[in-house]
């Protein structure tokens, strides 16, 4: 089965360090989403790309977070500098959006991030 | 803005049917989804229904959609311990492909 692959699965680092999370979407999918999940806020959409172009990053703190798609097989989410409140599980999802129908989003297993 | 609401917990006995409910506000929803999240894992797509359908059945899963009341339900027949998870309802409206998510319902199975 095709899967969304996220690395690393777990990351523990100290406050102030740069964190980079990577995502390989399902081959052929044209949309990529970054979500953050916490107990308090639930699932929040951070950013959304279609055909590698950022369409919406309004959910992302601009001063420290950045999201890019260097190519169709790789999406990255960076936090610099990281803060303890960034501790969460970060999910990447991909899907295929077409002119006449949208396919469901498929999720990776997430990166569990702990900032000390 | 648009909203999706779910109960936070549901407790059922093993072997019984589970019914997880969801209400939404966006009348332009085109697709409605159910995802399952097991501990430490990502969200797994269970099933989805197009807004012009009333019902969809897939093995032990039955999805019912009442578009007039903006109510979606997921019925799991013969609930097993492996069904223990958090179930998320989500809806998509408009053309931007973003989903509006419920907070998730934790399904607890009693022996």
Residue among A42, A102, A110 whose CB faces B92 most closely = A102
**DSSP code of residue B82:** G
Q: Taking a C-beta distance cutoff of 8 angstroms, is the pair A8, A112 a contact?
A: no
In the predicted model, what is the mean pLDDT of chain B?
92
Beta bridge partners of B81: none
Task: List, for residues A12-29, the tens digit of each pLDDT value.
Answer: 999 999 999 999 999 999
- Contact pairs from chain A to chain B, CB under 8 Å: 45
Task: List, for residues A52-72, the tens digit of each pLDDT value.
Answer: 999 888 889 889 999 999 999
* Six token digits for residue B102: 């419920």
Closest CA of chain A from B49, distance in Å: 10
Residue with tokens 């916490």: A38
Q: Can you tell me the distance from the alpha carbon of B106 to that of A76, in angstroms, rounded to the nearest whole number?
A: 31
In the predicted model, what is the mean pLDDT of chain A?
93
Q: Using the beta-carbon criterion (under 8 Å), do A102 and B96 form an inter-chain contact? A: no
Residue A18 backbone phi and psi in degrees, to 5 = -85, 140
Residue among A42, A45, A108 whose CB faces B98 most closely = A45
Query: Any chain A CB within 8 A of the CB of B93?
Result: no
Q: Using the beta-carbon criterion (under 8 Å), do A106 and B33 form an inter-chain contact? A: no
**Closest by alpha carbon to B17, among B107, B72, B77?**
B77
């Amino acid at each position: 089965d095709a899967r969304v692959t996220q690395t690393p699965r777990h990351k523990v680092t100290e406050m102030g360090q740069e964190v980079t999370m990577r995502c390989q979407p399902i081959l052929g999918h044209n949309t990529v989403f970054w979500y953050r999940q916490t107990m308090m806020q639930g699932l929040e959409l951070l950013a959304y790309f279609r055909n590698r172009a950022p369409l919406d990053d309004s959910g992302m703190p601009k001063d420290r977070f950045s999201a890019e798609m260097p190519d169709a097989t790789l999406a990255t989410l960076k936090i610099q500098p990281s803060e303890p409140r960034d501790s969460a599980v970060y999910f990447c999802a991909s899907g295929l959006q077409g002119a006449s129908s949208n396919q469901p989003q498929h999720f990776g297993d997430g990166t569990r991030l702990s900032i000390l | 803005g648009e909203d999706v609401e779910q109960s936070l917990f549901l407790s059922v006995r093993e072997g019984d049917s589970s019914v997880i409910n969801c209400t939404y506000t966006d009348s332009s929803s085109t697709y409605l989804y159910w995802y399952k999240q097991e501990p430490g894992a990502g969200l797994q797509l269970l099933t989805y229904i197009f807004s012009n359908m009333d019902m969809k059945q897939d093995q032990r899963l039955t999805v019912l959609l009442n578009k007039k009341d903006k109510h979606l339900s997921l019925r799991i027949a013969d609930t097993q311990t492996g069904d223990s998870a958090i179930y998320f309802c989500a809806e998509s409206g408009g053309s931007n492909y973003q989903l509006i998510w419920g907070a998730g319902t934790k399904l607890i199975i009693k022996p």
